[in-house]
Structure formats: structure tokens, C-alpha cells
Copies of this chain bind each other. A is one copy, B any other.
């Protein structure tokens, strides 16, 4: 077992836009596992938009990463040393290993994976946190009904592509929004969206709203919110009475809060359209995870639900890959391969 590991820590907090300067790669000692602990060699780590929130100081739903602390991340890895009866070296596991080559972690905090059941990377995407977020938010707060219309942005991302496919299978009209022609084509051809609009070509909220109105002739019943910003501004005027908005993210407003949308305009839409808006974070809902796996895993295996991964290589490339993802530079679930 090595006695050193590599990790990426938060070097400084972003002023507005995050940059590579906010991260630092360093070498740290790797301890022997204490009682009940294991050492995991990380094979794949997940990059997700929520991490941007952890880089800020101040109260959020989770404590911020402190300066000098390892950046938070879920990962998949191999147990290489164990001081727990539940794991032996060679086992694979899912856990919050951070942006790091190795982790020393309590066995009770990780979950064993069977690499024969599904590719290891799916535990980070379609069968992991993003896929589960999509499924739970849609079921619990979207309450989809056949014949309705759903809109979701980041349509080829791990949340958007799952939301779209689940809604389509439930009999809804599904309209995506994505950045660039290629992603829009992918949303329609690979994930079965009825239509997908390119928010880069549609520069203003007005232009996007006009295109959405054409793509949603019966209005919008469910807006699955993961971006905020211009998309929210374009969608609100098109929401139908009794519409639902599950809110799992607002990536457009993580770096900046510039917008023409006002607080009274949001509140007026909520009131006059009788909207149901529900914020959630999937970490509060893991009691439903077995139900999710039972429903969705067979559809992954059969190909009924498709997924797409974007795999970068090398821990040292994690910061720039993360920053690129925050600008939509990825196509599909962003993962970093470490070995």
C-alpha cells in the first residue's frame, strides 16, 4: 500500500467566475486504516455542478469546503486495505472519496458495487446521484401525466437526459434545451426528445421564449429546473395553470446572479398560474434509492433508457474539466478516470 496520495484542495474561494487558481494539486500522506475503516484507490470520480456551491462560503444545504480542504466528490474505487469485516481488498465501492487518488474512509459510509451488474461508471451517473435526482424530482414534484408537456434544460446531461426519457415513456411531450446544434441533435436522436432548442443560437430570453412557445403549442406543464437564469425567464410566461417546477439546481446562477427576471415576476407567476415549486437535494431522499434501482436498472440493462458519459483522464485535469463542464463543455455525465 502506498503511503502517499494525490489530492486537489480548494486553494481560494472564487470571486465570481471560478478559475483554475481556486484549486491546488498536492501530495498528502495516506494513513493506515483505523478500526472500521478501509483504504480505497479511486478509479473514477464524478464532477457535478453542485460542487460549485461548495466552493462558496456561507450557509447552503451543505457546509462549504474549507480553504485547504479536499474538494468534495463521489467516486468509484477499489478497496486496497481494509480494517472492516465488511470489505476485503479487491472489492469495488461507491463513496464520497473527494478529488483524490485515494481515500481513507469508514466502511459504513461506502456502498459495495458488483462490477458484473453494470459498468462501474454508471454508479456515478445514470444509476447514481444524477439519475436518481432526475427520477425522484420528476415523480415526487413533477407529477407527470400523459399528454402534458415537459421542458428540461441541459438536455444531454445526466439529469436532463434521464428526465426527458422518463417523461417521454410516461406519454408526455418532451422539449429539451441544450448548448449547441450537436447536443440538440443528440437529445432528439439518441434520447428521443420531441424537440430541442439551442440556447446559444437563441441569445435572449425573449428569443428563447418565442422558440419555446412554438415547440410547446399547449404550453408547459412541468419545467424541470436545473439551470435558472435565461431559461427560467423564458419558461415562466409559458407555464400552464397548475404547472409544476421541481428545482434541483440553478447552474446559470452559481457563478453570477445577473438576470432581468425579478422577484415579483416569479411570485406573480407562482400566484396567478397556481404553480407548485419544490426545491430538493437528492441526499435527503435515499430511502427511495432501492425503488429507483428496481425501476430503472432493468431499463438500463435492456437499453430502454440510454446514457452518455464524458470521461476525462487524470486527477490533475479535474479542475479544468470541471470549469469546462460548468460552461457546458461536456457531453453527457462528466467523469474523471484516475487509473
A residues adjacent to B (C-beta < 8 A): 53, 59-61, 225, 228, 232, 241, 247-250, 253, 257, 259, 261-281, 284
Say whether A250 contacts B268, CB under 8 Å.
Answer: yes
- Docked CA distance A274–B247 (Å): 9
16 contacts between A and B (CB under 8 A): A59-B272, A232-B263, A247-B270, A249-B271, A250-B267, A250-B271, A257-B262, A257-B264, A259-B264, A270-B279, A271-B279, A272-B281, A274-B279, A274-B284, A276-B278, A277-B278
- CB contact between A263 and one of B248, B266, B277, B280 (< 8 Å): that residue: B266
Q: Which of B61, B248, B253, B284 contacts A264 (CB 8 A)?
A: B253
Q: A267 contacts B61, CB within 8 Å?
A: no
Interface centre among A248, A253, A271, A273 (most CB of B within 10 A): A271
Instruction: Determine the chain B residues whose CB is within 8 A of the CB of A232 once the complex forms.
Output: 263, 267
B253 touches A267 (CB 8 A): yes
Q: Which residues of B contact A277 (CB under 8 A)?
A: 270, 275-278
Q: Please, which residue of chain B has its CB at the minimum distance from the CB of A263? A: B261
For A274, the chain B residues whose CB sits under 8 A away are: 61, 278-281, 284
Complex Cα distance A47/B141, Å?
A: 35
B273 touches A279 (CB 8 A): yes
Minimum Cβ distance to chain B for residue A129 (Å): 16
Which of chain B's residues have a CB closer than 8 A to the CB of A264? 228, 250, 253, 257, 259
By a CB distance below 8 angstroms, the chain B residues around A284 are 274
Tell me the dominant secondary structure on chain A's binding face: mixed
Looking at the assembled complex, report how far the CB atom of A53 sits from the nearest CB atom of chain B, in whole angstroms: 8
Is the Cβ of B267 less than 8 Å from the Cβ of A247?
yes
Complex Cα–Cα for A221 and B86 (A) = 40
Q: How far is the CA of A268 from the CA of B225 in the complex (A)?
A: 12
> Are B241 and A272 in touch, CB under 8 angstroms?
no
A267 to B228, CA, bound (A): 8
Min Cβ gap A231→B in Å is 12
Known contacts A257-B264, A269-B279, A274-B284; 7 additional CB pairs below 8 A are A61-B274, A232-B267, A253-B264, A253-B268, A259-B262, A274-B281, A276-B279
Q: Which 4 A-B pairs have the closest CB atoms?
A: A270-B279, A257-B264, A261-B263, A277-B277
Q: Is the CB of B61 within 8 A of A241?
A: yes
CA distance A266 to B259 in the complex (A): 13
Shortest A56–chain B CB gap in Å is 11
* Closest CB in chain B relative to A209 CB, distance in Å: 14
What B residues does A53 contact at CB under 8 A?
272
B contact residues around A271 at 8 Å (CB): 61, 247-250, 279, 281
Q: How far is the CA of A259 from the CA of B247 in the complex (A)?
A: 23
Give A280 to B262 CA distance when docked, in angstroms.
Answer: 20
- The residue in chain B whose Cβ has the minimal distance to the Cβ of A248 is B271
Which residues in B have their C-beta under 8 angstroms from that of A278?
A: 270, 274-277
Chain B neighbourhood of A257, CB < 8 A = 262, 264-265
**A272 contact set on B, CB distance < 8 A:** 53, 59-61, 279, 281
